C-alpha cells in the first residue's frame, strides 16, 4: 500500500509551511497518571505519531515521560512525532504566555513544540487556580485581555522559533473570523468537537478554503453510550466493511478532510483505532446523511471543560 492510499499515514500540510500534521492523533485527556503513561506508550507503539496535550490536563509530565521512554525503545526521533499542547484560560495575559509555554515544554521534556493552541477563547482570572470561582460558584472571567492580545503573544513564540505552528481550540466560526483577519501568523489548526452528530460543515469549509486544518476531538462521541458507537448507520457499515464502529468513525473523519484526536486507553484499542482503512464512497455518503445533531461538550460556550471533572 502506498502512503497516499493508506489513510493511517495521512499527513496534512500546515499553512505556514512549517511541516505536516499526521491526521490520526492521540489525545491525552486521561485523568489517571499511571494510565496516561501506559496509554501514551501504547499509542506510540501502535503507530500514532501525533500527540495532543494541555496544561489543563495536568499530566504533561506523564505524557513527556511516556514519549521519551517509548521513543528510546522504538528508535523514534523527536522529528518523527508531532506534539501539541494548549495554553490554559488563566494564562491569556500576554506576560503569562511565555512562562506557561516554557513550563509546558519543560514538563513534556521537549525543546520545541509542533503546535501550540489557545485552549479556549475565554480568559479566566489570571493565577495558579485553573478554575477560579466566585462565592456563588460562577467562573471569574478576565475582562482585561482580548483574544487578539493573546494571539499576538503566541505569534512571538513562533517568531522566536519556540513552536512551529499556532492555533485555536473550542472556537466558533464567528469568533475565528476576526482573529483570522487580524492575525499576522494565521491559525494553522482549529481544534473543535466534531463527529457525524456535529459535523461542523461550515467551519470545515472555511478551514479548507484557507488551508487551516480542522482537528476533530471526540470523533467517537467521547465513547458515550448510547451514542455514535451504537448508531445503526455506523454499525451497519462496520458489519458490511468488516471493521469496528470506532474504525468506521475514524476513517470517515480522515476521509472528509479533518485531522482527529482519539483516546484509546488500552493497547488493544490503540491498535484498533490506528488500524483504519478507507471507506467506500457510498458509506461516506450514508454517514453524511445522518441527521441526529448533538454537542457533547459545552466548553465552546463557557470555557469550562466538559470532559474534565471539577475537583472542588
Ligand atoms: N480542546 C478541547 O477542549 C478538547 C475537549 C475534549 C477532548 N479534547 C482532546 O481530544 C481527545 C479525544 O477526545 P475524546 O476522549 O472525546 O475522544 P474519543 O476517542 O471520541 O472518545 C474516547 C472514549 O471512547 C472510548 N473508545 C476509544 N476507542 C474505542 C474503541 N475502539 N471502541 C469503543 N470505545 C472506544 C474510550 O473508552 P474507554 O475509556 O473505555 O477506553 C474513551 O472513553 C482528548 O484526549 C483531548 O486530547 C480536546
Instruction: State the cell numbers at 110.
Output: 521537549
Looking at the predicted structure, is the pLDDT value of residue 175 above 50? Answer: yes
Q: State how far the Cα of 40 lies from the Cα of 238, in Å rounded to an integer.
A: 26
By C-alpha distance, which of 27, 40, 47 is closest to 276? 47
Q: Which atom of ligand 1 lies closest to the CA of 30? A: 45
Q: Is 198 helix (H, G, I), strand (E, B) or coil?
A: strand
Q: Which residue's alpha carbon is at the smallest distance from atom 41 of ligand 1? A: 265
Q: Which atom of ligand 1 lies closest to the CA of 307? A: 6
**What is the H or E stretch that residue 54 is in?**
none
State the average pLDDT over residues 204-208.
98
Looking at the predicted structure, is the pLDDT value of residue 1 above 80? Answer: no
How would you classify residue 206: left for phi > 0, otherwise alpha for psi between -120 and 50, otherwise beta? Answer: alpha
pLDDT in tens, 249-301: 999 999 999 999 999 999 999 999 999 999 999 999 999 999 999 999 999 99
CB-based contacts of 25: which residues, under 8 Å, 6+ apart?
48, 50, 51, 52, 82, 84, 215, 259, 260, 261, 262
Looking at the predicted structure, is the pLDDT value of residue 49 above 80? Answer: yes
Mind telling me the catalytic residues?
Answer: 57
pLDDT in tens, 216-247: 999 999 999 999 999 999 999 999 999 999 99
Looking at the predicted structure, is the pLDDT value of residue 3 above 80? Answer: no
Q: Which atom of ligand 1 lies closest to the CA of 119? A: 1
- Say what the pLDDT of residue 311 is: 64
CB under 8 A, 24+ apart: contacts of 73-82: 74/44, 74/45, 76/44, 76/49, 78/110, 78/111, 80/49, 81/44, 81/49, 81/50, 81/51, 82/19, 82/20, 82/21, 82/22, 82/25, 82/49, 82/50, 82/51, 82/114, 82/115
CB-based contacts of 76: which residues, under 8 Å, 6+ apart?
44, 49, 70
Looking at the predicted structure, is the pLDDT value of residue 2 above 70? Answer: no
Q: State how far the Cα of 12 lies from the Cα of 212, in Å rounded to an integer.
A: 10
For the Cβ of 27 lying below 6 angstroms from any atom of ligand 1, the answer is yes
Categorize the per-residue pLDDT at 312 as very low, low, confident or very high, splitting at 50, 70 and 90.
low
Categorize the per-residue pLDDT at 50 as very low, low, confident or very high, splitting at 50, 70 and 90.
very high
For the Cβ of 215 lying below 6 angstroms from any atom of ligand 1, the answer is no
For the Cβ of 245 lying below 6 angstroms from any atom of ligand 1, the answer is no
Q: Which residue's alpha carbon is at the smallest distance from atom 35 of ligand 1? A: 223
For the Cβ of 56 lying below 6 angstroms from any atom of ligand 1, the answer is no
State the average pLDDT over residues 161-181.
97
For the Cβ of 50 lying below 6 angstroms from any atom of ligand 1, the answer is no
pLDDT in tens, 63-100: 999 999 999 999 999 999 999 999 999 999 999 999 99
pLDDT in tens, 286-295: 999 999 999 9
Amino acid at each position: 500500500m502506498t502512503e497516499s492510499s493508506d489513510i493511517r499515514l495521512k499527513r496534512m500540510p500546515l499553512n505556514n509551511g512549517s511541516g505536516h500534521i499526521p491526521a490520526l492523533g492521540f489525545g491525552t485527556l486521561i485523568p489517571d497518571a499511571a494510565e496516561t503513561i501506559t496509554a501514551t506508550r501504547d499509542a506510540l507503539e501502535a503507530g500514532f505519531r501525533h500527540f495532543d496535550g494541555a496544561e489543563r490536563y495536568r499530566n504533561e509530565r506523564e505524557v513527556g515521560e511516556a514519549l521519551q521512554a517509548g521513543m528510546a525503545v522504538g528508535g523514534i526521533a523527536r522529528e518523527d512525532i508531532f506534539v501539541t499542547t494548549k495554553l490554559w484560560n488563566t494564562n491569556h495575559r500576554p506576560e503569562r504566555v511565555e512562562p506557561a509555554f516554557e513550563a509546558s515544554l519543560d514538563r513534556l521534556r521537549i525543546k520545541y513544540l509542533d503546535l501550540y493552541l489557545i485552549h479556549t477563547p475565554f480568559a479566566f482570572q489570571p493565577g495558579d487556580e485553573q478554575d477560579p470561582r466566585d462565592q456563588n460558584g460562577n467562573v471569574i472571567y478576565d475582562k482585561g485581555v482580548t483574544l487578539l492580545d493573546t494571539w499576538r503573544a503566541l505569534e512571538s513564540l513562533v517568531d522566536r522559533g519556540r513552536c512551529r505552528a499556532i492555533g485555536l481550540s473550542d472556537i466558533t466560526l464567528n469568533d475565528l473570523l476576526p482573529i483570522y483577519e487580524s492575525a499576522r501568523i494565521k491559525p494553522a489548526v482549529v481544534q473543535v468537537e466534531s463527529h457525524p452528530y456535529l459535523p461542523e460543515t461550515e467551519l470545515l469549509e472555511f478551514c479548507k478554503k484557507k488551508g487551516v486544518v480542522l482537528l476533530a476531538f471526540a470523533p467517537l462521541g467521547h465513547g458515550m453510550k448510547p451514542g455514535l458507537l451504537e448508531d445503526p448507520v455506523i454499525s451497519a457499515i462496520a458489519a458490511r466493511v468488516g471493521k469496528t464502529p470506532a474504525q468506521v468513525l475514524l476513517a470517515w473523519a480522515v476521509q472528509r478532510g479533518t485531522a482527529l484526536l482519539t483516546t484509546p486507553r488500552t493497547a488493544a484499542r490503540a491498535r484498533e483505532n490506528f488500524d483504519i482503512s478507507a471507506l467506500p464512497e457510498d458509506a461516506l455518503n450514508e454517514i453524511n446523511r445522518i441527521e441526529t445533531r448533538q454537542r457533547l461538550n459545552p466548553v465552546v460556550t463557557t470555557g469550562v471543560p466538559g470532559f474534565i471533572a471539577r475537583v472542588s
